Amino acid sequence: MDRMNRALLSPMKIVVLALASGLALVVAPAASAHTSLISETPADGDVLTELTDVELEFSEELLDIGNSVTLTDAEGTTLDLAIDLTVPRVLTAPLPADLTAGDYVVDWRVVANDGHPLEDTIAFTYAPAATPSESASPFAPGPASPSPESSESAAPVPTQISAPSPSLISEPSASAVPISAPLEQESSSSVWWWVIGIGLFVGIVVGVVVWRAGSRPATATDDPPSHSGDTPQS
């Protein structure tokens, strides 16, 4: 009898053990397959020139409860970011539009669909490329417009111009006459040179004629001078 019971119980034990093993194989992966993070933007240690939001992608959908994303700057100022779960398995948290360059830390916490919480910290550096319009700070004070009082006080005062003294006025020298004289002056100078040359020539001719007339010898036809007071000697 005992042998028969043992023979019957042995197959039953085998079946029970097989069912238990199969159930363990099915339940164990389901119990161990918790929701995990697949990708994150920005990643820890990133240095980014462009960034508009924080994006986290998970392997399973998240519960819309108990989720939070905070942004902390280098001075310790913390800002709670809005969370968007419109896309399944993706959490998006837009960053401020006026985000300035610097070091930041993102702390996030989510609750998976199975109720398991996940949390992590991301440190990154935001270094946007400088543009010509951004090189000058919009908060820098511009040049102050002059007030009516300052503009009147800054009006230029006319200075009195003194007449130059006679000693400072120099007479134009002959050497300062320009080389390129007018044509009228050159023609008048040439006429005067012609007049002077003709005058000299006429003077020389007249002088020669007078000299030759004075040096000619007396002829026999010339009457000797009469001496009225002379008497013949006896």
Q: Which two tokens stand for residue 172?
A: 């134009």
Which 3 state secondary structure label does DSSP give 200?
helix
Q: Mind listing the pLDDT tens digit for each residue in 156-204?
A: 555 555 555 555 445 555 444 445 445 555 666 677 788 888 888 888 8
Nearest to 51 by CA among 107, 159, 125: 125
Does the pTM surpass 0.75? The reply is no
The distance from CA 213 to its chain's CA centroid, rounded to whole angstroms, is: 102
Contact 120, 68 (CB under 8 A): no
How many residues are there in the chain? Answer: 234
Q: Are strands 90-94 and 102-111 parallel, antiparallel or unpaired?
A: unpaired
* Averaged pLDDT of the chain: 74
Domains and CATH numbers, the chain: 37-128 (2.60.40.1220)
Q: Mind listing the pLDDT tens digit for each residue in 103-130?
A: 999 999 999 998 999 999 999 999 999 7
Q: How many other CB atoms are found less than 10 A from the CB of residue 124?
A: 19
The distance from CA 66 to its chain's CA centroid, rounded to whole angstroms, is: 50
What is the distance between the alpha carbons of residues 66 and 179, in angstroms, rounded to a whole number?
A: 103
pLDDT at residue number 104: 98
